[in-house]
Structure 1
Amino acid sequence: MTWLNYWGRVHVSGIDLGLERVIPVAEKLAIIKSQAKVITVAGTNGKGSTTTIISQILKHAGYRVGLYQSPHIYRFNERVKISGVEATDAELIAAFVTVDQARRDCDLTLSFFEATTLAAFLIFKQRQCDVLVLEIGLGGRLDVVNIIDPDVAVITNIGLDHVDWLGDTIEKIAKEKAGIIRPQIPTIFAGQQTLPQAIQEKASECQAPLYCYNRDFFYQENSTTWMFSSPANTLELPKGKLAVHNAATAVAAVAMSGLNISDKAIAAGVLEANIAGRFELTEVDGKKIILDAGHNPHGVAFLLQQLKTFLKHNPQYTEVVSVFSMLTDKDIEAVTAELKPYISSWHIAPLTAPRAAPIEQIQETLEGQVVYVSENIQQAFQKALKTLPAHQIILVCGSFHTLEAVWESITHVHE
């Protein structure tokens, strides 16, 4: 039995929001008070890209950076990186052993996410990281990542996602995300919508200076560069692989951190930052594949912006074929409605994940579309690949689990 399977079974539920069980274990491990500077990032979309860019900038500035992200796409080790390098299996196993002992000493159970997050924090402490860049997994206020006080709080945007856990309105979700704000720390809101009242109220209550996109910092895109501007400075920066909006959020965060970071380090970090499953381009047998983890309407709208730009610059592709599946607790109807105008045919299959949507649920939302059903995602991908003419491109999306299944299929093809 592997440690990851073990953590999946120790606690009765996979998601259990609340900090009362996890805090005694974290105190036992002495990881709540970090000596490092901490930047915590919450939000509905864009967290992965924003934390990756912040981490790369800090690495180029010479800091030892602990980066914690979730979920992973291909390997669990992706969640825990020190200056861009994944933690080793041996390091993770040693941390899991220590966390399990502390849990037993406290006579408590931990969920998979709680246990693995504590293990990551333990590794960062052992490695004596200068800065921690932490991505909130779900919500903010009650997420285990929030046990460590940040020095800078970043909220990327607020969208309707995880409504069963966080609430069914933007304001209710914003209140959960605002839980990462602490007294008098710089707080960044990078949403492209009106500032939610819950964030304004929490910042005021904490006397935390609040910096908002399109009010306190801005960006403007050119063909190969973009401009970041705030009252303090203006920078011309290169375009990297990740979205400029998330890069601007990252630059605002490092600018507010009080850390010593040169313009050169910012430019190098923006240019180098890359993340699996965010408009990730690959090729199999000379055929072009796009992998994107977009799984809610906001994320898919952003994916489509990038897709339109890609197709404009690659006119040889006139049709997009999608390999697609989702989890049942996501807004499948809204996601497929966004995608339909751009997809010529769909290859769908059920996922093997616990919350996988039944294939009938997906089919229902694709009524009137050209749809091919397979037994599993690997089979759906192979079918799409086999029949793909030169003018078509494959878009894999709908869930991290969909990407993981296709990645396994691609790895198998390359072996």
Structure 2
Amino acid sequence: MTPCQRWSRRPPHGHRVSVAPLRRAVDYSAALVYLDEHASYEKTGRITSPSIGNIELLLSVLGSPQNDFRVIHVTGTNGKGSTSQIITKLLMAHGVKVGTYSSPHLEDVRERIQVDGEIIGQHDFADSVAAIANAEGIAAIRPSYFEIMTAAAFRWFSDAAVDVAVIEVGMLGRWDATNVVQPDVSVITNIALDHMEFAGPTLAHIATEKAGIIKQGAVAIIGESNEDLWPIFRAEPHEEMLFVNEQFEVVDNHLALGGRALHIRTQRGDYVDLFLPLHGWHQGDNAAVAIAAVEAFFGSALSHEVVTEGFANVVMPGRFEVVGHQPLVILDGAHNPAGADVCASVFFDDFDPHGRRILIVGALGGRDISDTLSALKVDEFDVVICCTAPSPRARQGREIATVAEQMGCTNVSSADSVERACDMALADAGSDDAILVAGSLYVVGAARTHLRRVLP
């Protein structure tokens, strides 16, 4: 059966167990309190025993809503957020109803759950979380924050009768709560060292964990170009497997005003004169993966009109997002060395600011901050302001500042909040200067909220 045939044979909705919502979770604020009560990894950064057992029990109580729609499942060390958004917009341009589940959020937890690009409303969010609260009692388990969010997303996608859901893995893949779906297409964007406290120490270990989302009957799209890792992916059961630079490739990728000009070729189509309104050469790679994934889903090439429309509607808040001019203010959620290296390359090479270069940086614990700072080229910034991210797992700004000084930075200061760091940078910056906010999506989210209030 082809992916296109599978898509056209949408299954009927599951038989859901009817449960009355808990009184404490019927409004939005109570739903947020319930979620916070279950935030363990979000507060400690620790996972005691990786398992999908809890989420399987929750979904069983709910009537297995994850089986009510088709799925494109996306993982990768970097780029999975952008790739998921590009896939979503290509599917929407094709005329299907699309659910999108992503993490983490920048400013509002509801950002994680969207249908056709619109975030879930407060009432629907509270209703879905209330259903999970009831399922928790019936299943006699204590789910995590991410398990609750994942189950809530699946439930709402079922209620909203989406045709397909683009599901972004939270961490790694094999034991991730999202890995209860049976995907039509499994996507791996790339492999780099990250989450070393849970996997590693080699790229092969990371690849093995991410390969866990490849399932029997699914088409696998592999954006990782390191051929030494390909046997790991091939070892997983699959229907078909497409590799970058073999079945799909970026033929041309160059800087254009406001994004990238692209030429992408796949085994099914040749897509020329494309414009993607995202910054950075790496977004060309993400776009190629996205096109290959959507082609695999439909089992055919895409029309140039669909690709052009889909690309035109792509927006990625917090991923090399320009939020201010004079001074130039850029937000990027790069939080590991591989992502930070790309971030620095785009900032220094593509934007090439003429004035002083000011870095606002914050980070969570659990990673070697010196590796991320080195990849960001911290010593090439004229001013470095280190801040404490708004998370219980945050590394203190003054600790980051000490590391930056040890790396040769001379104009270094620290701030106890992201907001204070932004105010310090704006007060110091001239109209020709450029401010980059990076190091953590938690930092970028807080900065985005604050900067939208204070910038003209």
Q: CA deviation at 1:6?
A: 1.8
User: Does the alignment pair 1:349 with 2:387?
Assistant: yes
Please give the per-residue CA displacement for 1:151-180, whole angstroms capped at 9, x wherever unaligned: 100001111111111232211111110010
Kindly provide the amino acid, as one letter, of the partner of residue 138 in structure 2.
D
358, 366, 374: which is aligned to 1:321?
Answer: 358
Deviation at 1:237, TM superposition (A): 4.2
Give the aligned residue type for 1:221: N
Question: What amino acid maps onto 2:432 in structure 1?
Answer: H
Deviation for aligned residue 1:354: 1.3
CA distance 1:195–1:262, change in 2 (3 Å): farther
Matches within 5 A, 1:306-385: 306-312=346-352, 317-339=354-376, 340-367=378-405, 368-369=408-409, 370-385=411-426
Aligned to 2:244, which of 209, 213, 217? Answer: 213
Aligned-pair Cα RMSD in Å: 2.0
Give per-residue Cα distances to partners, 1:69-115, cap 9 Å, x unaligned: 00001111111110111111111000001111111111111100000
Task: Specify whether residues 127 and 105 from structure 1 end up closer, same or farther in structure 2 by C-alpha distance, changes over 3 A only.
Answer: same
1:402 alignment partner in structure 2 = 443
* Contact 1:41-1:135 at 8 Å conserved across structures: yes
The aligned residue for residue 62 of structure 2 is 29
- Percent identity of paired positions between Structure 1 and Structure 2: 28
Could you tell me whether the CA contact under 8 Å between 2:385 and 2:401 is conserved in 1? no
**How much does 1:256 deviate?**
1.0
SS of the residue 2:77 aligns to: coil
Residue of structure 2 aligned with 1:106, choices 139, 159, 166: 139
Given the superposition, is the C-alpha separation of residues 172 and 310 from structure 1 closer, same or farther in structure 2, using an over 3 Å criterion? same
| Aligned-pair CA distance for 1:20 | 1.1
Native 8 Å contact 2:104 2:112 kept in 1: yes
Matched, 1:10 2:38: yes
SS at match of 1:346: strand
CA–CA distance in structure 2, aligned partners of residues 124 and 281 of structure 1 = 31
Note the alpha carbon deviations across 1:42-69, whole angstroms, 9 max, x for none.
Answer: 0110000000000001111110000000
Matched, 1:40 2:66: no
Please say which of residues 202-211 and 242-251 is displaced more in the overlay. 202-211
Structure 1 letter corresponding to 2:276 = G
Q: Is the 8 A contact 1:296 1:331 kept in 2?
A: no
| 1:290 counterpart (330, 348, 352) | 330
Query: Secondary structure, in 3 states, of the residue corresponding to 1:146?
Result: coil
Deviations 1:380-406 (A, max 9, x none): 110110111122110000001111221
Q: Deviation of residue 231 (structure 1)?
A: 2.7
Deviation at 1:187, TM superposition (A): 0.5
For the 8 Å contact 2:54–2:143, the answer to whether it is kept is yes
CA drift of 1:205 comes to: 4.3
Query: Contact (CA 8 Å) 2:207, 2:232: kept in 1 or not?
Result: no
Superimposed CA distance per residue, residues 351-383 of structure 1 (whole angstroms, 9 cap, x where no aligned partner): 231111133431232123110122222111101
**1:10-409 → structure 2 map (5 Å cutoff):** 10=38, 13-14=41-42, 16=47, 17-31=50-64, 33-197=66-230, 200-219=231-250, 220-222=252-254, 224=256, 225-242=261-278, 243-258=283-298, 261-283=302-324, 286-312=326-352, 317-339=354-376, 340-367=378-405, 368-369=408-409, 370-409=411-450
Paired residue secondary structure (2:333): coil
Task: For 2:228 and 2:307, locate their aligned partners in 1 and report how far apart those are by CA, in whole Å.
Answer: 27
Q: Residues 394 and 357 of structure 1: is their aligned pair in 2 closer, same or farther, counting only changes over 3 Å?
A: same
- Larger CA deviation: 11-20 vs 244-253: 11-20
Task: State the AA in 1 paired with 2:264.
Answer: F
Q: Provide Cα deviations, 1:296-349, integer angstroms capped at 9, x if missing partner.
A: 11111121232134324xx6x333101111111123111111222431110112
User: What's the TM-score once normalised by structure 2's chain length?
Assistant: 0.85
In structure 2, how many angstroms separate the alpha carbons of the residues matched to 1:338 and 1:12?
A: 30
Cα distance in 1, alignment partners of residues 232 and 435 from structure 2: 44
Q: Tell me the distance in 1 between the aligned counterparts of 2:41 and 2:413.
A: 34
8 Å CA contact 2:322–2:331 kept in 1: the answer is yes
Q: Is the 8 A contact 1:181 1:208 kept in 2?
A: no
- Pick which of 239-248 and 222-231 moved more: 222-231
After TM superposition, the structure 1 stretch with the greater mean CA deviation from structure 2, 272-281 or 364-373, is: 364-373
Question: 2:169·2:178 contact (CA, 8 Å) conserved in 1?
Answer: yes
Structure 2 unaligned spans of 5+: 1-28
SS of the residue aligned with 1:330?
coil
State the one-letter code of the partner of 1:288.
L
Unaligned segments of structure 1, at least 5 residues = none
* Range moving further from structure 2, 37-46 or 214-223: 214-223
Distance between the aligned counterparts of 1:394 and 1:236, measured in 2?
A: 34
Paired residue secondary structure (2:434)? strand
C-alpha contact (below 8 Å) 2:362/2:387 kept by paired residues: yes
Cα-to-partner distance string for 1:202-243 (whole Å, 9 max, x where unaligned): 534414422111122111224553211123221114221221
Q: Please say if residues 54 and 133 of structure 1, whose CA atoms lie closer than 8 Å, have aligned partners that are also in contact.
A: yes
* Alignment partners' CA distance in 1, 2:216 and 2:144: 29
Task: Give 1:408 shift.
Answer: 2.8
Deviation at 1:32, TM superposition (A): 5.2
1:233-255 Cα distance to aligned partner (Å, 9 max, x none): 21114221221111111011111
Partner AA of 2:253 in structure 1: E
Native 8 Å contact 2:387 2:398 kept in 1: no
What secondary structure, in the 3-state scheme, does the structure 1 residue paired with 2:298 have?
coil
Q: Is the CA contact 2:214–2:236 (under 8 Å) kept in the aligned structure 1?
A: no
Q: Which moved more, 1:400-409 or 1:215-224?
A: 215-224
